[in-house]
């Protein structure tokens, strides 16, 4: 049995957060409104009307948070940069005070011996760009590349590697197809241009970053797709779902083409958005690493209504569930990674797990501790599965757990706790959970076994 302690020497251990989920300070130092400020203010959009107005107040407490990271012994910290802090209306004037915040954060991380791994877009689009069509508008891709240049010009002397986008699949589907995330548009398949324009933005930004000698990754939400049965109709439905969830966001990057979406009645130009030369831009910039966000597999059956989408989601039975209700299937991570290697072969760059973790109904006990054994079990199981994939020859360079802190979980508000550190949102008190000590000890044991 592969064991997490056998992960290769030099393996990067990390934890992740995202700007809107932790920073707060939404109206400070010149930050412009983002689509999440506007969406969260809409009655009924987010559970209990929660917003990211204060979140973990990380904008003011980043020093304390970096101390927690230092105590943990992280090699790397994945955070995101809020585009509306840097360029409040998405185009036009740059807000120096916004960049100053990330400058301070990067310096603080480096002083603690932690490598910063920033994500340029983790869903908080400047509202002014949304008013011009958001990611449905081709122009947004060009604005994204400009923003990337502004950020790298300021932080690039200290930041070696960058993640362009976080989960373009989830942003397109939840934000533009179903409307359960910002910007709250429910366009179903008419949302597909938002996929292409995000990928185009990735390609344009990646070119800027790589020209300057930086490493570039993208963080994709990927899932192993299980057919509900061997029946031809279920297998076809699973393939259609795989095309939408996984291939749509990875084939263009690694193979320079979109997958076949004919099961959806969609032509290869994705609603007319793909122009000649675009795929060359998307694939041509190259990727130094593929970021994989893994939470659970997906089970798919043939649709029950012939007129709608070409798949139906089926329950995964007989496995534990997180507090969020997500199925816990650690081996799905090994299956996913081995599947990527088999699918893309030599076109697959090294992989970094950029998110993996679970929500637990954590409470601070009377003795002041937080016993999050389900999280420890989740992390241990997934790290063993990761080690199994490495033993099967998959090149995985690092693991960033989601998340460092309990934070604003999008449409669930503050109801889902994913952190290694408990946050009391009324007092902003941070309490390291049992998983924090467990992760710290694992990293130490791994380093010691490799003489680091
Ligand atoms: C991912 C998001 C991240 C977090 C986790 C639980 O889809 O990228 O921001 O919300 O889910």
Kindly list the structural domains of the chain, giving each domain's residue range(s) and its CATH number in brackets, ordered by start: 4-449 (3.20.20.80)
What is the predicted pLDDT for the residue at 307? 80
Active-site residue, from 167, 211, 313, 315: 167
What tens digit of pLDDT does each residue of 309-331 get? 999 999 999 999 999 999 999 99
DSSP category for residue 370: -
Q: How many CA atoms does the CB half-sphere of 345 hold within 13 Å?
A: 1
**Model confidence band, residue 102 (pLDDT cutoffs 50, 70, 90):** very high
pLDDT category of residue 2 using cuts at 50, 70 and 90? confident
Confirm whether 167 is a catalytic residue.
yes
The residue whose CB lies within 8 Å of the most ligand 1 atoms, and thus the one to mutate among 58, 222, 355, is 355
Decide whether any atom of ligand 1 lies within 6 Å of the 406 Cβ.
no
Instruction: For residues 372-382, give the mean pLDDT.
Output: 98
Tens of pLDDT, residues 130-174: 999 999 999 999 999 999 999 999 999 999 999 999 999 999 999
In total, the chain counts a number of residues equal to 452
| CA dihedral sign, ordered 383, 385, 386, 387 | positive
At 190 the pLDDT is 98
More confident residue, 404 or 6: 404
Instruction: Kindly give, in sequence order, each residue whose CB lies less than 8 Å from that of residue 282, ignoring residues fewer than 6 positions away.
Output: 199, 200, 202, 203, 252, 253, 256
C-alpha neighbours within 13 Å on the C-beta side of residue 390: 24
Q: Is 0.85 surpassed by the pTM of this model?
A: yes
Ligand 1 center to 21 CA (angstroms): 9
> What does pLDDT average to over the chain?
98
Query: pLDDT digit string (tens) for 16-45?
Result: 999 999 999 999 999 999 999 999 999 999
Kindly give the distance from the C-alpha atom of residue 161 to the centroid of ligand 1, in angstroms, as a whole number: 20
């Amino acid at each position: 049995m592969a064991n997490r302690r056998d992960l290769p020497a030099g393996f990067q251990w990390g934890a992740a957060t995202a700007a809107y989920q932790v920073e707060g300070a939404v109206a400070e130092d010149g930050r412009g409104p983002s689509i999440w400020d506007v969406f969260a203010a809409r009655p009924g959009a987010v559970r209990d009307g929660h917003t990211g107005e204060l979140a973990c107040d990380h904008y003011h407490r980043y020093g304390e948070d970096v101390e927690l990271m230092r105590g943990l012994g992280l090699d790397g910290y994945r955070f995101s940069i809020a585009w509306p802090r840097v360029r409040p209306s998405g185009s036009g004037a740059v807000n120096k005070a916004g960049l100053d915040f990330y400058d301070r954060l990067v310096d603080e991380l480096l002083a603690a011996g932690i490598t910063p791994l920033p994500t340029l877009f983790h869903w908080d689009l400047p509202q002014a760009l949304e008013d011009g069509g958001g990611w449905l508008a081709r122009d947004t891709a060009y604005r994204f590349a400009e923003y990337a240049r502004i950020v790298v010009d300021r932080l690039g002397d200290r930041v070696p590697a960058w993640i362009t986008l976080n989960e373009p699949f989830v942003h397109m589907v939840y934000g533009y197809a179903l409307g359960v995330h910002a910007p709250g548009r429910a366009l179903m398949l008419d949302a597909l241009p938002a996929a292409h324009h995000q990928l185009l933005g990735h390609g344009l930004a990646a070119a800027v970053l790589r020209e300057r000698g930086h490493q570039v990754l993208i963080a994709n939400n990927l899932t192993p797709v299980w057919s509900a049965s061997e029946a031809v109709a279920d297998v076809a439905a699973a393939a259609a779902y795989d095309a939408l969830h996984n291939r749509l966001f990875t084939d263009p990057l690694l193979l320079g083409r979109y997958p076949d979406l004919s099961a959806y009645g969609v032509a290869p130009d994705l609603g007319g958005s793909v122009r000649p030369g675009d795929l060359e831009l998307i694939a041509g910039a190259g990727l130094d690493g593929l970021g994989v966000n893994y939470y659970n597999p997906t089970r798919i059956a043939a649709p029950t209504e012939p007129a709608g989408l070409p798949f139906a989601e089926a329950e995964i039975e007989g496995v534990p569930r997180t507090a969020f209700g997500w199925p816990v299937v650690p081996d799905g991570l090994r299956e996913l990674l081995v599947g990527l290697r088999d699918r893309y072969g030599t076109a697959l760059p090294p992989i970094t797990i950029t998110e993996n973790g679970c929500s637990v109904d954590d409470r601070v006990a009377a003795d002041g501790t937080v016993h999050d054994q389900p999280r420890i079990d989740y992390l241990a199981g997934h790290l063993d599965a990761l080690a199994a994939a490495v033993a099967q020859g998959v090149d995985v360079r690092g693991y960033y757990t989601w998340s460092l802190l309990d934070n604003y979980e999008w449409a669930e508000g503050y109801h889902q706790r994913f952190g290694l550190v408990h946050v009391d949102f009324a007092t902003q008190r941070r309490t390291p959970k049992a998983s924090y000590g467990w992760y710290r000890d694992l990293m130490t044991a791994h380093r010691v076994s490799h003489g680091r």
